[in-house]
Amino acid sequence: MLIATVGLLSLVALSVRQRTKEIGIRKVLGSSSWGIILLMAKDYAKLLAGANLIAWPAPDTHREVAGQFCLPHSAAVVGISCGRGVAALIALSAVSLQSLRTALANPVKSLRYE
């Protein structure tokens, strides 16, 4: 989970860095920091929703396989349903923090050479 979080954080930082000039222009034209954060978070929320739809049947399949073959006498099989919520929370907080940092920066610095 730690490796995935670090990878996600670097992906978000790269995405925000590539869109720094766009964020600067939006800031100069009067966009609020909250609007910029929502703009960036919307893209990642769509990706998270798609990933959750693809991964939805996985826990049920895992429980059936583990219950029938690997752990026939086990009393409990650990579910991973809360892992999706934690992953979504980590992803959206990473996007929000990186976007907020860029939105609060001086837009003149990002637009100086344009």
Q: Where along the chain do its domains lie?
A: 2-108
Phi, psi at residue 78, to the nearest 5°? Answer: -70, 130
Q: What is the pLDDT of residues 12-64, one digit of tens each?
A: 889 888 888 888 899 899 989 899 888 888 888 888 888 878 877 666 555 55
Q: Whole-angstrom Cα distance, residue 36 to residue 28?
A: 12
The residue assigned the tokens 């925000």 is: 16
Cβ contact 91:15 at 8 Å: no
Q: Whole-angstrom Cα distance, residue 59 to residue 28?
A: 47
Q: What is the pLDDT of residues 62-105, one digit of tens each?
A: 555 555 555 555 545 445 556 777 778 888 888 888 888 888 88
